[in-house]
Amino acid sequence: MSEIIADKLTGKASAGDVTITSEGGAVTMQLQQGLTKAWLNFQGSGTVTIFDDLNHSSVTDSATGKFIGNLTNAMSNINSSITSTTSGGESLIGNTAAPTTTTYTIDNGNASFGAYQDDSRISTHLIGDLA
């Protein structure tokens, strides 16, 4: 088995363009396109506390069940893919307010109650291009 140890990968045709082959060898993809650029795992009930994160400066509690993720490094545009999960079981999470390149909203509500609610653990993931 071979091992590559490196601090930096540089594409041959373009410095930031590294192509990798799929597990089955049938397709290729751009490495940077497949990486999560920001993620957040936080306590959304009581005192809002970040458990762990990548590329977040903070999370703001704006109202019951409503939060704002604040990024350390901006995304290149507002078209990032944002997904969220929660510990609340039946909870529905959406991003109803328009994101910016440095912030996005997390709206957490329970389908059974038809209202926004805080949850003990909320996680988000952003995939897209960094500025």
CA-to-CA separations, 100 to 63, 74, 86, in angstroms, rounded: 19, 9, 23
Is the CB of residue 50 less than 8 Å from the CB of residue 61? no
Of the pLDDT bands very low, low, confident and very high (cuts 50, 70, 90), residue 92 is low
What's the pLDDT tens digit per position in 25-59? 787 777 777 788 999 999 999 999 999 999 999 99
Whether the pTM exceeds 0.85: the reply is: no
Cα(110)–Cα(114) distance, integer angstroms: 6
Cα(83)–Cα(80) distance, integer angstroms: 10
What's the pLDDT tens digit per position in 58-81? 999 999 989 999 999 999 999 888
